[in-house]
Structure 1
C-alpha cells in the first residue's frame, strides 16, 4: 500500500485531552466538535467528569473520540483526588494523548517550561502512548517570536509525536492538530455514524445547572456543589427536568437560594435557556437545594454525587 493510500484509509481511536486546570481542554473539545458539549467557565476546576465527544471527517474517513478530562494537579482535597483519578483513568484507555499547555505560562527563573506541565507530560509518558503537545492560547502571546524558545525547549526535553501551537478559543490551527492526531490512530472505524457522545441528556442537564451556579456565584460555593437530575421526561416538544443541588454547608444553601429565592431563580433561568439551546426544545426546570454536610470530604459521597447516572 502506498503512502497516499495509507493516508486515505479510515482511522479511528480515542484521544485523551489532559492538562492543568483552566488550560482550555473543554474549550478545545467544543471547538473540535463544532458545537458546545462541555461546559466552560473562567474558573479552574469546572470539569469534573470525563466527557467523550466524537469528531467526524469524511476526507479522509476519520473518527476521533476525544475525551475531555478534569485538570491534573496535586490534589488538595478528597474531591480533588477523585477528579485526578478520573483523568488518570482516561489516559489508560487512550490510543493517543493530547497534552494541552498554556503558551503564556513559564517555569521558575529563566526556565520556559512550567514544572506542573513537565510533570503531566512525564506522567503521560508512563502510559506508553504517543503524545502530541498542544501549545494553547498562542493568541494571547503578542510577540510570536517568544514562542520559539518555548517550542525548542519542549522539543529538547521530550520526544513528542508532534508539537502544534493552537488557539482553542479562536479555533486557530486546529486542522493541523487533527491531521497529526489522525496519523497516530489505528485503521478502521469504531463508532456509529450518528454518534456524538456516550453521555445521556440528563448528564448535560446536570452540567448546565452546575455551569449556571459557577457563573452566578462566587468564592468557594461552586467547589462544594454537586447536581443530580431526579426527573427527566419528554412530552411532545416539552422536556421536564427536576434536579437537586447538593451543598455541604447550611450557609451555602442560603446563598444559593438568595433573598426571596432570587438567586435560585436566576440560576434556573440561565440553566433552562442553555438547556433549550442544547435540546432545541422547550424545557420546564425545577431546582431544589439540599444540604449534604461534608460530602466533599467523604470519598464515597464524592464518587456518588459527582457522577450523574446514565
Structure 2
C-alpha cells in the first residue's frame, strides 16, 4: 500500500495568478533563539523539532506557507556556533551557505537577554548579504517589564544597515501576523514552487526520525543528544497499521546504556512518546521498533555523516 499523506501530497502545482509573490526565507541565528519553534508556528504543524538543548536543528528544513497572495518557503537552519567536530563544521557551513541562497534573511535573536557575541558575529556575516534582512526579536513573552535596554542592544545591530525590526513570540504567536506581512512585502512576484497544501518538502521518513530524536533530546541528559543520529531503516504499511523500524546511533557503549535505561525503561519511554507523535504525523496507527547501535566517533567520520544524511551543501 503506497499511501500519500496530506503532509507530502504530490498534487499538481497550479499556475500563480497575477501579482502573486513567492520566495525563500532563510531563518538565521545563533543556537536556541527559537528558529524551529517559529517555523512550526508559521506553518501550523510540527515539522521541526524543538528543545531547550542547543544545536537541535541539524538539517536545512523547509516549511511552506501558502496564502491567497503569496507562497513563503521558510528555510530553517542549524544555529550558528563554534564547531567542535566535523558534524558541527557541516552544520555551521550549511547555515552560512543558506544566507546567500535565499531571497530574504530573517535574522532571529532572543530578546529576553541582551545581544551577545554570537549575535554580533551573525550580524557581521549578514553585513554583506545581497538580500534583504529582517531582524526578528523573538521571545518577547519572556522579556521583563523594563525591556527597553534589551531592545536597544539589538537595535544597534540593525541601525547601521537599516534592517526592519519586528518583535514577536514564536511560543505564543503574538506578533507573527505582522512578521508574515513583512515577509510578503519583501517578496517579489513569482510562481508556486510547491502545491498549496504542502507544509514541508521533507519526506515522512525524515520527519519520523526527527520526532524520535526530539524525544531523546527531552528525556536524556545533556551529554547524549549531541551524540545521537536516528535513521529510519524501514517502513512497512498495511491496511490498518504502519510499522516503523528505526536505529538510534550513539558513539559509546555507555551512551547506549543510558538510551536503553534500567530494564529498558528509557527506550520504552522514548518509543512511546515518539510513536504518539508519528501517529499524529501520518494520521494512523503505528508500530514502532527501535534499535540502539554504537558507531564510535561517528560525528568525526565522513562516511558515517554521509550515511546519516549530513553533508556540506553546495
Normalising by structure 2, we get a TM-score of 0.88
Distance 1:152-1:79 versus aligned 2 partners, 3 A rule: closer
Structure 1 runs of 4+ with >4 Å offset = none
SS at match of 1:183: helix
Runs of 5+ unmatched residues, structure 2 = 1-17
- Give the Å deviation of 1:150: 3.3
Q: Which has the higher contact order (CA 8 A, sep 6+)?
A: 2
Q: Look up the match of 1:73.
A: 81
Q: Look up the match of 1:177.
A: 179
For 2:119 and 2:243, how far apart are their aligned partners in 1?
43
Matched, 1:54 2:54: no
- Give the Å deviation of 1:91: 2.0
Q: Answer yes or no: is the 8 Å Cα contact 2:36–2:50 preserved in 1.
A: yes
SS at match of 1:254: helix
- Give the Å deviation of 1:124: 2.3
Among candidates 124, 132, 135, match of residue 133 of structure 1: 135
Distance 1:99-1:248 versus aligned 2 partners, 3 A rule: same
For 1:304 and 1:19, how far apart are their aligned partners in 2?
27
- Give the Å deviation of 1:48: 0.8
Distance 1:173-1:115 versus aligned 2 partners, 3 A rule: same
String of CA shifts for 1:97-156, please: whole Å, max 9, x gaps.
0000011222xxxxxx32211211221233311100001111111224345523542343
Among candidates 91, 94, 100, match of residue 108 of structure 2: 100
For 1:33 and 1:39, how far apart are their aligned partners in 2?
13
Q: Answer yes or no: is the 8 Å Cα contact 2:55–2:78 preserved in 1.
A: yes
Normalising by structure 1, we get a TM-score of 0.89
For 1:116 and 1:259, how far apart are their aligned partners in 2?
39
Q: Look up the match of 1:119.
A: 121
Q: Answer yes or no: is the 8 Å Cα contact 2:229–2:308 preserved in 1.
A: yes
For 1:152 and 1:93, how far apart are their aligned partners in 2?
25
Runs of 5+ unmatched residues, structure 1 = 1-7, 107-112
Distance 1:152-1:289 versus aligned 2 partners, 3 A rule: closer
For 1:301 and 1:91, how far apart are their aligned partners in 2?
27
Q: Look up the match of 1:30.
A: 40
For 2:33 and 2:216, how far apart are their aligned partners in 1?
21
Among candidates 251, 254, 263, match of residue 251 of structure 1: 254
Q: Look up the match of 2:276.
A: 273
Q: Look up the match of 2:14.
A: none
Q: Answer yes or no: is the 8 Å Cα contact 2:113–2:150 preserved in 1.
A: no
For 1:155 and 1:20, how far apart are their aligned partners in 2?
16
- How many pairs were matched up? 292
Matched, 1:20 2:30: yes
Q: Look up the match of 2:9.
A: none
- Give the Å deviation of 1:306: 4.3
String of CA shifts for 1:148-198, please: whole Å, max 9, x gaps.
5235423433321x1101111011111111111112212022222222211
